Amino acid sequence: MKNELIERTKRFGIDRWHFCFKVPKSREYNAFVNQLIRSSSSVGANYRASQRAKSTADFINKLKIVEEEVDESVYWLEIFEEVLSGNPEEISNLQKEERELLAITVASINTAKRNSNK
């Protein structure tokens, strides 16, 4: 599960950058793009930080931050879906991928909690 989360997290950031480059350039869209870039960049940085955690509790806390940021990124994509008539299929695929990443992150937190209670 850990390796899958690492791969998904890397792909998460890369896919967001590709998506953002395709978004039409205007003041209105730039605000959304910046939020999306910020949240996807933070996911990667905080996930890497979780890998350096000194304790299970620290690992869980850092993964919870990742979970919140993935959730925020899903929110920004939902706004894109409402505002952007561009490529709804791509937005839908990104949302699906993020929800899967969110589910894996939650499963990792729960696994770490169970293992720390043994």
pLDDT tens digit string along 83-107? 665 677 777 888 888 888 888 888 8
- Look at the block and give the residue holding tokens 């997290």: 9
Residue 20's pLDDT is 73
**CA proximity to 44, closest of 5, 9, 8:** 9
Count of other CB atoms within 10 angstroms of residue 31:
11
Q: How far apart are CA 105 and CA 111, in angstroms?
A: 10
Q: Per-residue confidence at 22, pLDDT binned at 50, 70, 90?
A: confident
Q: How far apart are CA 70 and CA 76, in angstroms?
A: 10
